[in-house]
Structure 1
Amino acid sequence: MSSPLTIVVALDPDTATATLADSAASRVRSQDLSPAGAVGHFSARRRLTRKLLRRVRGRAAGGPIRLLDFQSMRTHADNYAAWQWQQWRAVVSGTRDAQPWWVFVDRHRADPDTWPVSRAQQAYLAQPRVLAMTAYNAAYRQHPIPRARLESLQSGFNAYRTLAALAAVPGDAVATADGDLLTTSSGRLFDQLRYLHAANDYIDRLHRDTPLVAITAQSGSE
């Protein structure tokens, strides 16, 4: 199973707007990842400015922090998560809590002969709550409920909203201006929260002239 990643790249404040995408892609490649291109990830404070990268339908792929509207992104993510959690709760009504995918990955790693990947996937997907989510996603493809967020969904309404707001700006990973890559070490909710705390703290401490660029790459996990 694979899913696209959104990687937010911090660049030097002197980076020219015309080279933002190429500079960010180069930074992503230095982390042994394959960039697929810049993506409209950020809300922007101004409608028309040459400082923003590829602004389309109200979303920009990058630009100086002073032109990006983090609060709007976090509020939108919070509101959408609130709606999505209510939808999820109705979809899984009557089903028991399910074990997240990382539990089955751990079983496979501990005993690959007894738990090959195929068996782990089948056991995970066969859980009634996961089956309910899969059926809903097949019927409502425009607004799917991500199975990868199962653990946070089961943590409750407020926890799910908080996680969504925290993830709105940094996305799945942050490539720092110093060449480091901040990302979660596993699919566990605790590790995700630890990453999001570090990523938001890093971004919020950057100078407002620092340009950020969102790049998509490919992941090989659930």
Structure 2
Amino acid sequence: MPAYPVVRTIVVCLPTNATPQSMPALAATRLVAQQLRPAGPVGHFDARHRLTRQLLHRYQGHAAGGPVRLLDLVGMRARAATSAVWLWHRWRDVVDGTRDAQPFPVFVDRHRDDPAHWPLSRAQQAYLAQPRVLAMTTYNAAYRQQPIPTSDIEALQAGLNTYRTLAALSAVPGDALAADANWLTPRSGRLTDQLDYLHAANDHVDRLRPNEQLVAMAAWPLA
């Protein structure tokens, strides 16, 4: 369990003249500039048109990138919100009778404030030992096809509406957004920092022109 959010899927904004063939190289250049190791495009987006050649890596209704007008961003948000409602109700049943848990960043702060007394391994163990987190990890071990992310615990505890809204906002931008000259990503794993990022990222995406391009890339830190 990392002490900071690990970037996994990055959405890169590209100009209208980018072709599907040029998208991966153009996006990779942006990622390398952020000290990330590109691992190639990922089928992150729901696509409105399956047969058009303007989409990158289109497959079974998904694409790694293309013009905004061909990507079903509204549908992605709606479907993510619907899934979140189901997951939240499942989570409520799983953790019934347990106390609220402290999110992992709280234990990371203890580690950073006193690393000698609170090594990261102890912080991880203390987080996982909380009865509510333990109930979630036990469920996940039994139902591996439909896990409840323990990293979501702060948002889950904030209530159904918050969790549904967070899911909808998270559907499009990914873990980071390379927006023109700006690089947007959460400052930490805390819910407030995630919401700040998602507000800025979705605002940028919603202001893109229909022919501007988005491409989703997998990447990991170089270090």
Instruction: Give matches, 1:7-156, under 5 Å.
Output: 7-156=10-159
Partner of residue 214 from structure 1, selected from 210, 213, 216: 216
Give the TM-score, by structure 1 length.
0.95
CA shift digits 1:40-73 (9 cap, x unpaired): 1111111210000001121100001010111100
Percent of aligned positions that are identical: 61
Name the SS for the 1:34 alignment partner. Answer: strand
Structure 2 stretches of 5 or more lacking a match? Answer: none
User: Paired residue for 1:189?
Assistant: 191
Distance 1:38 1:90 in 2: 37
Distance 1:51 1:63 in 2: 6
User: Paired residue for 1:174?
Assistant: 177
CA shift digits 1:4-23 (9 cap, x unpaired): 61110001211122111121
135-144 or 192-201, which deviates more: 135-144
Distance 1:123 1:153 in 2: 19
Structure 1 stretches of 5 or more lacking a match? Answer: none
CA RMSD across the alignment:
1.4
CA contact 1:9–1:176 (8 Å) conserved in 2: yes
CA contact 1:5–1:219 (8 Å) conserved in 2: no
CA contact 2:49–2:61 (8 Å) conserved in 1: no
Give the TM-score, by structure 2 length.
0.95
Distance 1:144 1:53 in 2: 30
Distance 1:218 1:135 in 2: 29
Partner of residue 199 from structure 1, selected from 201, 204, 220: 201
CA contact 1:174–1:183 (8 Å) conserved in 2: yes
Distance 1:57 1:24 in 2: 23
CA contact 2:16–2:211 (8 Å) conserved in 1: yes
Structure 1 runs, 4 residues or longer, greater than 4 Å off: none
Distance 1:134 1:37 in 2: 31
CA contact 1:7–1:217 (8 Å) conserved in 2: yes
In the alignment of these two chains, the number of paired residues is 219
CA shift digits 1:136-157 (9 cap, x unpaired): 1111111111111110000001
Amino acid at match of 2:201: A
Distance 1:54 1:87 in 2: 34
> How far did 1:218 drift?
2.9
Distance 2:51 2:96 in 1: 46
Over 3 Å counting, the alpha-carbon distance change for 1:219 and 1:161 in structure 2 is farther
